[in-house]
Amino acid sequence: MSDDGSIITDLGLGAPQPNGADTAPAVGIISQYIKDLSVENPNAPECYQWQDAPQIDVQFNIGAREMAEGNGEVSEVELKISITSKTPSGTQFIVELSYGGLIGMRNIDDASKHAFTYAEAPRLLFPFARAVIASAVRDAGFPPLMLEPIDFNGIYVAQVQAQAAEAEGAAGEA
């Protein structure tokens, strides 16, 4: 106990702060939700008779925007996934999902915020988006489509390295 009667605890997170201020870094998912889901089955019921193996095209994009600023920062991370299944006979189905999550971050430096927003948060949201897609494809009359895991961290690192190389090349030309 200090001279003024307040209790002081040190959990190895730095010096105690006045009035119990929390200065420890913290990140987490506040909520997650479907923003938009579209399922098209343009050739039903004929497509259920097709025997050819489908070609599945999967595209995805990650978007983010800040919802609030200050000590308690909240951002929305959005996974956009588009899947098309085609055979030589035509398109079987098209599924487009926009899956969002609110991410809370506090006492995090900008580089770590960026990495969490574009690598770790999508990794955490993806299994839930994958389940939505599997159910949507099943509800369209096809076997559930279980997407392979995506290495969001590897993609993020590759993009950061490519941007650094591009900036280095631009600086060398100047």
**Average pLDDT score over residue span 89-117:** 93
Return the domain boundaries, the chain. Answer: 24-143
Cis? peptide before 127, omega within 30° of 0: no
In CATH, the number for domain 24-143 is: 3.10.420.10
Instruction: Tell me what pLDDT residue 29 has.
Output: 92
Q: To the nearest whole number, what is the mean pLDDT of the chain? A: 86
User: Taking 60 as the threshold, does the pLDDT of residue 79 lie above it?
Assistant: yes
Question: Which pLDDT band, with edges at 50, 70 and 90, does 72 fall under?
Answer: low
β-strand 55-68 against 72-87: which pairing, if any? antiparallel
**What are the tens digits of pLDDT across the range 146-155?**
999 999 999 9
Q: How many CA atoms lie within 13 A of 173 on its CB side?
A: 6
